[in-house]
Structure 1
Amino acid sequence: MPVDPKQRRAARHAQPAADPAQPPRKAPITVERITDAALEVVATQGYDALTMRSVAAVLDTGPASLYAHVVNKADIDELIIGRLCSQLVLPEPDPSRWREQIVDVCGQIRDQYLKYPGISHAALAMVSTNLDVLRVNEGMLSILLAGGIAPQTAAWAIDALSLYVSAYTLEKSLVSQRQTDADADWVMSQEELVRRFAALPPAQFPTTIRHARELTSGHGHDRFDFTLDLLIDNLQRR
C-alpha cells in the first residue's frame, strides 16, 4: 500500500530518535572551541594554569587532539589575545579628538585584560600576525597619525602604550590573586602603608615620610590615566 504523502513529509521532518545504546557524539574540536576553552581556563584558574593539557581537559579530550588545529601554547596565546582584540570598538580617526580616542582604545584593552586574570602575560613579547590584533594596531596607528604624530614616533608609541597596558593589568591581576590567598593579610591597604612609611627612621627617609600620602594615593585607575597622559602629552613634543 503506498504511503500517504503527508506521512512521508512528516517522517522527513521528524528528528531521529536517539539510540540509548550509542553515547552522544562529542562536538568536533575547532580553533574556536580551543579559544573558548583557553579563555575559560584563564577566567576560572588564571593564566598560569593555561596549558595544552588544561585546555584539552575543558574539551574532554587529550592534548594530542589539539595539535591538529594549533601549533603550540604560544599559538593559543595569540588566539586568546586576538579574541579579546576582536571585542574592541575602534573609532574613525578624528584629528580633533585623537587624544581622547587613543585613551579610549587603551582603556578598552585594559578592561578586556582585567576580565581574565593574568592574560596580558600572553600579550607580552608577542609579535602577532593575528588579524584581530593587527586590526587594533592599525586603528591605533591611524589615530596617532590623524593627530599629527610623526610615523616613527607613532609606531613606537603603540609599542609603549601596549606594553604599559599589559604591565598595568598584569600587576592588577597579581594583586587581586594575592588578596584571595589564605595568607593575604600581608597585602597592605593604603592606610597601613602610610602608617609604615611614617614609622620609618626620619634621618634615612625624610622625604618618604613627608610625602607618604602622595606616594600611596590613587583610586581605581587614577595611576593608569596619569601614565597614559604622561606618555601621550610627550608625543607631540617629539
Structure 2
Amino acid sequence: MTADPRRSRSARHAQPSAQRAAPAPRKEPITVGRIADAALEVVATEGYDALTIRRVAAVLGTGPSSLYAHIVNKDDIDDLLIGRLYAAIVLPEPDPAAWREQVTGVYTQIRDLYLEYPGVSRAALAMVPTNLETLRVGEGILAILLAGGVEPRTAGWARDALSLYVSAYALEQSLVRQRRRNQDQEWVLGDEELLDRFTALPAERFPQTRRHAAELISGTGHDRFAFALGLLLDNLRPASG
C-alpha cells in the first residue's frame, strides 16, 4: 500500500513527544584561580594596559559583577596576577656561602617572568602583597639575606630596593620594545646612531660624554641588570657580632 505523502510530511515536521531537549551545559564557577588565569591571559595577548575588571570578566564569559564576589577592585587582580607568576619561582635553600648568588638568581627569575609578560611589573609597584605565593617569595629572599648575616632591618630595606629595581628594569625594557614596534617613534635609537650623536656633541659643552661615548652605551640590558644588583648586594654588610 502506498503511504500517504501528506502523512509522511507531517511525521517529518512533528516534534517527537518522548524526546527531551538536552540540558544546557553548566557554566564553570568563577573562582579566584580562574580570575588570575584570565588576567594573565589578557596580559599575555593584549598587554597590561588592557587589563581591566571588565576585560577579565569577558574572558571568563561573565559580567563584572560576578567577579566582585571574589575580588574587591583592580588592585586585587594585580595581587592575584603577581601571585600567579611568583608560583613559578624556585627558591634555593639559603646558603651563607653563596647568598649573593642566590639572591641574584631569584631576582633573575622574577625579571624573566616580568619580561615574558610585558608591562606586568607595573602590577607589583606600590602594592602591599597579600597573595601567599608573593609572600612565599618575599620570605625566601629575606631568609637568604639573613643567612648571609645581613641585619634584619637592612635585609628588609634591601629586599624592597632590589624588588623596586627589578620591577622598574622590566617595565623600562617592555616600554622600549613597545616603542621600537611603533614606526613613529624615531627617537628610539640603536647603539651606532647613539654613538654618532654622542661623539658629535659640542666638545666645549659635553667633553666627558664625547670622550667616553663608547663606554656610556656599552653592555646589554642584562649586563647592566647584573651590575646594578651587584652594586646593591656588595654594599650589604653582615651584622657585627
Superposed pair shares fold, TM > 0.5: yes
Task: Output one character per residue of 1:153-182: Cα deviation in whole Å (capped at 9) or x when no partner.
Answer: 111000000000000000011111111223
Q: Is the 8 A contact 2:43 2:51 kept in 1?
A: yes
Task: Output one character per residue of 1:55-104: Cα deviation in whole Å (capped at 9) or x when no partner.
Answer: 11111211111111111100000001011111100011011111110100
1:236 Cα offset (Å): 1.3
Give the secondary structure class of the aligned counterpart of 1:138: helix
C-alpha distance in structure 2 between counterparts of 1:186 and 1:155, whole Å? 39
The alignment's TM-score, normalised by the length of structure 2, stands at: 0.87
Show the counterpart of 2:174: 173
C-alpha distance in structure 1 between counterparts of 2:211 and 2:56, whole Å? 51
Show the counterpart of 2:60: 59
1:40 Cα offset (Å): 0.8
Q: How does 1:158-197 map to 2 (within 5 A)?
A: 158-197=159-198
Q: Is the 8 A contact 2:96 2:147 kept in 1?
A: yes
Q: Does 1:224 align with 2:219?
A: no
Q: What is the RMSD of the two structures over their aligned residues, measured on CA atoms?
A: 1.5
Query: Could you list the runs of 5+ residues in structure 2 that have no partner in the other structure?
Result: 1-19
Show the counterpart of 1:116: 117
1:237 Cα offset (Å): 7.3
C-alpha distance in structure 2 between counterparts of 1:107 and 1:144, whole Å? 16
C-alpha distance in structure 2 between counterparts of 1:129 and 1:35, whole Å? 14
Q: Does 1:209 align with 2:201?
A: no
Q: Is the 8 A contact 2:83 2:133 kept in 1?
A: yes
Show the counterpart of 1:157: 158
Q: Is the 8 A contact 2:151 2:238 kept in 1?
A: no
Q: Does 1:79 align with 2:80?
A: yes
**AA at the equivalent of 1:215:** L
Largest Rg, 1 or 2: 2
Task: Output one character per residue of 1:8-64: Cα deviation in whole Å (capped at 9) or x when no partner.
Answer: xxxxxxxxxxx7665433322111111111011111111111110111111121111
C-alpha distance in structure 1 between counterparts of 2:189 and 2:27, whole Å? 48
Identity %: 67
Give the secondary structure class of the aligned counterpart of 1:235: coil
Change over 3 Å in CA distance of 1:27–1:132 after alignment to 2: same
Query: Could you list the runs of 5+ residues in structure 1 that have no partner in the other structure?
Result: 1-18
